[in-house]
């Protein structure tokens, strides 16, 4: 009962948020809608009793990625809302040309097919069962990260180190050539 309620509310939060992101004409607003979608996804993780993943979702996306996006939008100007076409309707700048739209549409189609294939299997293979009893996932994730998945872990830390050094290099005050 409670799990169903949690699932339905987080799922609808995710879908409504995602739709609002796509449909919003203002990038800044779209970013705040993205916030709701991401919170909804973290709620979905909670219903799957992946507590650590849910909190990570909040820390990484809400605290980091969304603020980063807001900064990026702000620094690149966002949209000025002044472009109006000859009928007086607000013009939304197209985000690509015919080629990119065709490519994107094709890849979305392929992705949808793949996902449908996976979901079909899941529905066929496993009969509806009771959820496994709740247990915390923190220890297991920690163990797996430094045993089985240590390569991915290390590679991502090297990537982050590279990003950090790059940022420091760019932000560094340049010596004036005299």
Partner 1 sequence: MMNDNVVSFFSDSPPYQMLNEKLSWLLNFDTSGMLTFVIYFVAAFVIVNVMALVGGLGTYAERKISADLQMRQGPNRVGPFGLLQFLADGVKMIMKEDIIPKTSDKYLFFIAPILCMVGVFATLAVLPFSSGFTLTHLNIGVFYVLGVSSLVGVGIFLGGYSSNSKWSMLGGMRGASQIISYEVPVTLSIIAMVLLGGGLNFKTIVGAQGGMPHEWFIFHNPFTIISFVVFFIGMLAETNRAPFDLPEAESELVSGYHTEFTGMRFAFFALAEYVEVFVVCGVAAALYLGGYQVPFGLSSMEVLHTKIGLPMAPAKMIGQFLEIGGFVTKTVLLYYVVIWIRWTLPRLRVDQLMTLCWKYLTPIALFNLVGVAVWIYLFNGESMWNLVFKTGAAAAGHH
SS3 90: strand
Distance CA 19, CA 42 (A): 17
Residues that bind partner 1 (CB under 8 A): 1-2, 26, 28-29, 32, 35, 51-52, 54-59, 62-64, 66-67, 70-71, 74, 134, 136, 138
Q: CB of residue 134 vs partner 1: minimum separation in angstroms?
A: 5
Nearer to partner 1, 102 or 156 (CB): 156
Q: Please report how the helices 138-146 and 150-171 are oriented relative to each other, as an axis angle in degrees rounded to 10.
A: 80
Q: CB of residue 60 vs partner 1: minimum separation in angstroms?
A: 9
Nearer to partner 1, 136 or 156 (CB): 136
Q: CB of residue 125 vs partner 1: minimum separation in angstroms?
A: 28
3-state secondary structure string across 36-57: HHHHHHHHHHHHCCCHHHHHHH
Distance CA 160, CA 64 (A): 14
Nearer to partner 1, 125 or 169 (CB): 169
């Amino acid at each position: 009962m409670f799990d169903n309620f949690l699932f339905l509310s987080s799922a609808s939060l995710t879908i409504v948020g995602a739709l609002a992101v796509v449909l919003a004409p203002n990038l800044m607003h779209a970013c705040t809608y993205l916030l709701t979608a991401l919170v909804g996804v973290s709620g979905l993780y909670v219903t799957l009793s992946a507590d650590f993943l849910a909190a990570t979702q909040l820390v990484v996306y809400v605290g980091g990625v969304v603020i980063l996006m807001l900064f990026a939008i702000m620094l690149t100007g966002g949209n000025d809302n002044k472009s109006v076409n000859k009928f007086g309707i607000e013009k939304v700048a197209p985000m690509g040309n015919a080629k990119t739209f065709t490519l994107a549409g094709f890849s979305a189609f392929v992705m949808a097919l793949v996902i449908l294939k996976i979901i079909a299997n899941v529905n066929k293979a496993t009969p509806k069962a009771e959820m496994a009893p709740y247990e915390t996932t923190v220890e297991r994730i920690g163990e797996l990260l430094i045993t089985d998945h240590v390569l991915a872990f290390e590679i991502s830390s090297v990537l982050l180190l590279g990003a950090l050094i790059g940022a420091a290099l760019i932000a560094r005050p340049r010596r004036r050539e005299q």
